[in-house]
């Protein structure tokens, strides 16, 4: 067996060790070489779907491959999440992450969502709006709290389902304001809004994009938005935090990939998404959804996820919310 001189051997060994790195970089440079799927855990036409299609169109134009939105609704978005975490970690299957995923991390004990994904980038944050049927006499959050305390257990709080972000936003309010509201879960926000307008239920913490037209028309009375700052979409409407100090809730959206997706691909997608969030035309489309952009690194999006999981985990446990 031929013996190599030590220097020659070390040189070859170093070259061989570098090869996997070179191939990873080459893969990232070639990425994407075929269409990419963005899996959305909700039906077409809703806020999640619209956000995914807007960023998908942007990435398609920037990266020269189709980013195709695939709707896989069901099980509070867990079906979509499961499909992504089980996909090959090659950057060709992405997940539209949202605030419901952060609630599910506590609601479903066997869900390993946070351990099984690679956060890529945040997209936008949108407020919920605390709204009442006009038959409720309260015109402000303070008046609503007083009315609810005078009528314990008589006011119904609608949501789009048990454990949804709309539901837990209401539970956070109940917890912080010390009021007794009866939760009435629906299968989706649309039927809940129908019953809100007809007066069958009294209060709802709905995603602002879904309720904006009803708030503007007067079909529902907007008492407050749930973000720390007032919304440009309803500039005259207060924040809940102006009356209940420290209260904040919002719907937010981002993009993630299966765990172990190469960092080079994650960074490439993050860079292009952030470029989109800075683009005036795309930014204007997000403003139409009452959204403020969430630019940042994968690490910053990971931090947001961790904070939201911790926050909503406390609410789920306090309110003893169980999965349907």
Angle separating helix axes 189-198 and 208-217, nearest 10 degrees: 20
Domain boundary among 242, 258, 279: 242
Residue 19 included in any domain: no
Residues 74 and 108 grouped into a single domain: yes
With H, G, I as helix, E, B as strand and everything else as coil, classify residue 111: coil
Domain that holds residue 309: 35-126+250-318
Distance CA 29, CA 24 (A): 9
Contact between 94 and 63 under an 8 Å Cβ cutoff? The reply is no
Residues 65 and 142 grouped into a single domain: no
231-252 residue pLDDT tens: 988 999 999 999 999 999 999 9
Q: CATH number for the domain including 166? A: 3.40.190.10
Residues 154 and 235 grouped into a single domain: yes
Residues 156 and 89 grouped into a single domain: no
Low-confidence stretches of the chain (pLDDT < 70) are 1-28, 111-114
255-299 residue pLDDT tens: 999 999 999 999 999 999 999 999 999 999 998 888 999 999 999
Number of domain units in the chain? 2
Domain boundary among 208, 242, 276: 242
Residues 51 and 118 grouped into a single domain: yes
Preceding amide of 281 cis, omega within 30 = no
Taking the mean position of all CA atoms in its chain, how far away is CA 309? 12
Which of 41, 37, 57 has its CA nearest to residue 49? 41
38: which strand partners? 69, 94
The 3-state secondary structure of 259-300, one letter per residue? CCCCHHHHHHHHHHHHHHHHCHHHHHHHHHCCCEECCCCHHH
pLDDT at 112: 65
pLDDT at 209: 86
Residues 200 and 237 grouped into a single domain: yes
As to burial, measured by CB atoms within 10 angstroms (0-12 exposed, 13-18 middle, 19+ buried), residue 184 is middle
Contact between 96 and 39 under an 8 Å Cβ cutoff? The reply is yes
Residue 22 included in any domain: no
pLDDT at 56: 98
Residues 198 and 269 grouped into a single domain: no
pLDDT at 320: 92
Residue 120 included in any domain: yes
Residues 113 and 51 grouped into a single domain: yes
Q: What is the pTM of this model?
A: 0.84
Overall size of the chain counted in residues: 324
């Amino acid at each position: 067996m031929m013996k190599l001189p030590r220097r020659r051997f070390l040189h070859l060994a170093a070259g061989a060790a570098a090869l996997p790195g070179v191939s990873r970089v080459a893969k990232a440079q070639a990425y994407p070489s075929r269409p990419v799927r963005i899996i959305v855990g909700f039906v077409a036409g809703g806020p999640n779907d619209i956000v995914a299609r807007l960023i998908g169109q942007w990435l398609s134009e920037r990266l020269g491959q189709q980013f195709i939105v695939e709707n896989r609704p069901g099980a509070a978005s867990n079906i979509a999440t499961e499909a992504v975490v089980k996909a090959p970690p090659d950057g060709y299957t992405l997940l539209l992450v949202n605030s419901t995923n952060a609630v599910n991390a506590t609601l479903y004990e066997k869900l390993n969502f946070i351990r099984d994904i690679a956060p890529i980038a945040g997209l936008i944050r949108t407020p919920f709006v605390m709204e009442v049927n006009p038959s409720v006499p309260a015109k402000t959050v303070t008046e609503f709290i007083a009315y609810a305390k005078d009528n314990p257990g008589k006011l119904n709080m609608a949501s789009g389902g048990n454990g949804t972000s709309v539901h837990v936003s209401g539970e956070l309010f109940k917890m912080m304001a010390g009021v007794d509201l009866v939760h009435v879960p629906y299968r989706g926000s649309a039927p809940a809004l129908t019953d809100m307008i007809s007066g069958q239920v009294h209060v709802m913490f709905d995603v602002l994009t879904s309720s904006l037209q009803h708030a503007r028309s007067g079909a529902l009375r907007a008492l407050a938005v749930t973000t720390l700052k007032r919304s440009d979409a309803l500039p005259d409407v207060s924040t809940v935090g102006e009356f209940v100090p420290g209260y904040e809730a919002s719907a937010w959206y981002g993009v993630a990939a299966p765990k172990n997706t190469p960092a080079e691909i994650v960074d490439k997608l993050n860079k292009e998404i952030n470029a989109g969030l800075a683009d005036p035309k795309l930014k204007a489309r997000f403003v139409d959804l009452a959204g403020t952009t969430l630019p940042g690194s994968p690490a910053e999006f990971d931090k947001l996820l961790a904070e939201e999981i911790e926050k909503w985990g406390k609410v789920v446990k306090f309110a003893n919310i169980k999965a349907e």
